[in-house]
Structures are given as structure tokens and as C-alpha cells.
Homo-oligomer: A and B are copies of this chain.
């Protein structure tokens, strides 16, 4: 499928690039569609592309020595993954799989490297992205230290709330609400948090009983009370 410069400029990191650079990138990029469970990047492989997610949701996963699946991060539309290879020529550090049907733009590392070399702004942006990744991993690790499992789930849920809704309702009196599109399955959340699928289910039940979240079909999770969710995430309140 053809990739246009316009498509690329839909991604925040690429947006500031000059038109010729975008054209150059577009020329070498390809779009690929993945079905649920499709493997986008393979750990250990010498992947030669960076993946920009246009639609859907991806998850970085790894496996323990004894074969258990471990969830590392989620990738939301507009974000990208596989950027580690831009900085060294090591292997891809983890698997990236599609949690939902997904549309991904593959841009060769080499093309991006050339842009990076010419374009110090780009270098900075990619550098801060990598730094952000480290910060995010650090946060995720600190989640695992929480002894209260329900709090862990609430934190993870909070992170899935769209950014624009988070600020909402700070001053407002009524219960601010939001929606998570294509939410991960209980299992997918479980491996992120090092807990069992059943435990995630039970926490969700508890949240539903308290009218804090609500399922709306398989592709939508409504958050009825953002403030309350946040309180649970922060530990100000405890889920019995």
C-alpha cells in the first residue's frame, strides 16, 4: 500500500519534519495490516524498521525463562515502537504483538537514520522518546512493587485513560467520565501486572459493582467516575 507524506505527518514526532524529508521517508515506508494476535516485531531478530501505529493497539511482550508471558508496554495510535534499533544494531529487545486489528506503518531504520543525521531536531525528539520509554518502564516497575493488587489494576487502568480526559473533572463536582477504546483483555492486563487473569477479573467485578467502570460491548470500556478511579490508583481509597 502507498504511504503519503500526509499520512506520516499524522504522527506527532514526524510532523515537524520538512516536507522533503517526509517525502523521502514516505517513499521507503510501507503500510501493513495485522489481525488480532499478529506478530509485528520479533524479539531477537535484527528488525530493520521502526513501526508507527496508525490504528489499533499493540503490546510489547517478553517471556520468562520458563515460558511465561510478561507484558511490557502498550502502544497507542500515534505512537511508535522498535526504535531501539536506531541507536544500536542490537536485536529487537521484545516481541510486539497486535492486541486488536491494527494498521502499522513500517519505516526503514536506514531512512530514519539519514534524517536523524541531517536533522538535529529529529535526533533530539528520538532521544527524548527513548528517555520517555525508560521513565515509563521505571514507572511500570514501580507498579509491581505495590502490595495492593487492586491498586495496581487501577493504576494500569488510569494509564489507559486518554490523556485529554485525565485533567477533566478536577474542579468539577459531577463525576467526570471517559472511555477506553479497544481495551486490553483481562489476560493482557494480568501479564503487565504480574497477577493472574482471574484476579484481574475479580477487581473489574468490584469496580463494576461500584459503578466506576462499565463494559459497553467488547470494544469499549466506559469509565463512569474518573475521580474515584484516580483515588483508588493513588491509594487514597481502598477497594475492599
Give chain A's interface residues, CB within 8 Å of chain B.
Answer: 62-66, 68-70, 72, 84, 86-88, 90, 93-94, 124, 127-128, 130-135, 137-138, 140-148, 151, 155, 191, 194, 233-235
Contacts and interface: CB of A to CB of B under 8 A. Distances in A.
Given A127-B87, A128-B88, A131-B88, A62 B138 contact: yes
B130 A134 contact: yes
A125 to B, nearest CB: 9
Nearest to A92: B135
A2 B203 CA distance: 57
A65 B234 contact: yes
Nearest to A148: B66
A140 to B, nearest CB: 8
B63 A135 contact: no
B93 A147 contact: no
Given A88-B124, A137-B137, A138-B94, A68 B131 contact: no
A71 to B, nearest CB: 9
B93 A134 contact: yes
A131 B90 contact: yes
A93 B135 contact: yes
Nearest to A85: B131
A135 B135 CA distance: 14
A130 B128 contact: no
A93 to B, nearest CB: 5
Contacts of A140: 141
A127 B147 CA distance: 35
In the A-B complex, the 6 residue pairs with the smallest Cβ-Cβ separation, listed nearest first, are: A87-B127, A88-B128, A70-B145, A64-B145, A88-B131, A87-B131
B62 A128 contact: no
Given A66-B235, A87-B127, A88-B132, 11 more contacts: A64-B146, A65-B146, A65-B234, A66-B147, A66-B151, A69-B145, A84-B134, A86-B127, A88-B128, A90-B135, A144-B194
25 contacts: A62-B138, A62-B145, A64-B142, A65-B233, A66-B147, A66-B151, A68-B145, A70-B142, A72-B138, A84-B131, A84-B135, A86-B127, A87-B130, A88-B124, A88-B127, A90-B128, A90-B131, A93-B131, A93-B134, A93-B135, A130-B131, A137-B137, A137-B141, A145-B191, A145-B194
